[in-house]
Structure 1
Amino acid sequence: MEKITAVVVLLILKSGTVSAGWSVTFENPNICAIKGSSVDFRCTYNYTDGETVTKTAWYKGAFKDKIWTRVRLSDFPSYDNRTEYHGDLQHNCSLAIHELQVNDSGYYYFRFDTNKFGQRSKTSVYLSVTGLSAEVHPEQVRAGDKVTLECITQCQSPSIVWFKDGLPLAKPEFRAQAEDSGTYFCAVKGQESLHSDPVALDVQYPPTNVSIDVSHSGSLALGSSVNLTCSSAANPAAENYTWYRRASSSSFLLLVGSGEVLSLQSLEASHTGLYLCQVRNSVGEDNATEVLLTVDRNDINRVILFVGIGLKVVIVVLLPLVVIWAGRKTCKSAVNNKEHSHDYENVSASQENKKFKDKIKDKTVTQKEMYV
């Protein structure tokens, strides 16, 4: 009996010695990593002296038929070409997983076999794979509002960096200005290529840089036309344009139109004055600097003067020609009249001579007619 007891005690002691020499240790049993990155499971294992390690393998916990079981990673097609065993058959059991996916999250176990026994790790490595999500607070921002950028991740307090339109951003909190509109994303420092989806910041502001463009410069002639165009920068876009005219000697503003373009046709002297436009959107309003329009009152007198000068030039040039033409025509008429008069006298004399000769021939001429 005593001999049997001694054998049992020896076996127990021997068994205890073997169990005490076997262990698996994980350097970091809880790992949080960003989607798309790589992770290392740093691991060491020990066994009883004199044994030789023949096989190692990593497993992942999974439910099969509602039973929690350990499945060899090589049995998961999703891990193909993404795992890299850095361990050996001595004491290193480290494993690297690349291009992490969200469904890589879970519990991981290590097992090794010697020429005598097989040992599975009693504990595990828990891997949490998370993405990054960027948010802007508040959602609607106006110029001057305080803006806070938040990068959401399940990992505990990683070092976050921010980018605006692809360029590094100094701080995730600021007072919004118009130029802060753009797209923002966050990333973990050191892994900037693995960033969140971009989020847009749209800063609303009232009209600014309001200006008036005049289609014609300088003094405007009576009866002419001119267009005044009002422009500004605003977000949202300007909704309302109102035009006013101020007489140069008055502070009173007269409403003269609406719309982005003020068109003035058939200008009169009363159109002279200072013009300004007021621009408004849902955030606020602003006015343009006044511009002066001058309609020249002397233009009509200039027209009359030019017409008078033109008539004088016409008269000076044409009058001599008319006089010459009239003179020539008068002379020609006189010559024609003279020629017609001689012909008449010659014809008359010829007729008288003929009658006188006829009388002499007939011997009926009187003595008095002979000496006439």
Structure 2
Amino acid sequence: QKKTSCVFFIITLVLRGALCGTFNIKMPQNINVLRGSCVTIPCSFDVESRFEKYLDHTCKAYWSDSPSFTSRNAKLKPTKDMTGDLIKKDCSTTFINTNLLQRSKYYFRLECNNALKYTFSHGVDISFIAVPPSPTLIPSTLEVKEGTSVSLTCSAPAPCWSHPPALRWTPNRGQSWEILQEHQDKTKVKTSVMSFTASHLHHGNKISCTAVYRKQDGSPDVTAETNVRISVSPSGPIREQQKVTLTCSSNANPAVENYAWYRAGRNEETLIGIGRTLNVAVSTINSIFFCKATNKIGVEQSSNLQIDVQCMY
């Protein structure tokens, strides 16, 4: 009996320890802020189990660029309409006037009119950018034939959830729909999908996607667009095994360091050349190409180019 009692006592201690919560917070490591526009910091937290009962309507959110601060010397004191539901442990905060922010790491503090007052040690790095990053343009199908359906996907970061960028297709070839998607770290991205039926009239066309960011401080809107283009020479129908010259160009900033050319297959892509231009023989089987431009920031991919290859009998 003593042995059974002892075992039961040990199990009780283990269970009680497992139920104890801890103070922790989840937010992105860094966020790029477009000066003059609003920004949302996605944020959620947890508290020790004994403080759960203190989460009530008196709780308020505070932010500062120092890990040691109180509500009195906080740099930012968001109002209720700027902050998520703190009772539900949602500390997501939207700052309409980013002029109140500066390039720094910001920390979140929770203060309630009771025993619950805590500054979380994990912060988010705020960086300011003058020009938003170029949207990403991705073909959803790697092989396009005349008469088949084509879908192009354009995505752009949405640092402010209430004012996401407007996405525009040029030219607009068909129907499009938009959605605000959420990443694993709770940051969001605006996505537009345009669908149309491929035609020989589309051969050699350039389709671009532009993201327009509206600023909240009254300054002019800022646009960013897909900056990779493909041109083909000679133009018009190409004979089987005829050589063509493909040119990849970009207005990326910083400047492009290298270009790479790929042939698109049914379910794969094959690297076929390096450089701004490519001389290649085309056939009815291998007639879909795209290029990638790389600079110090990242990689931008062009839309697929299908060359109209005619069989010679």
- Structure having the higher helix fraction is 1
Same fold (TM over 0.5): no
Larger Rg: 1
TM-score (normalizing by structure 2): 0.33
Q: TM-score, normalised by structure 1?
A: 0.28
Q: Which has the higher contact order (CA 8 A, sep 6+)?
A: 2
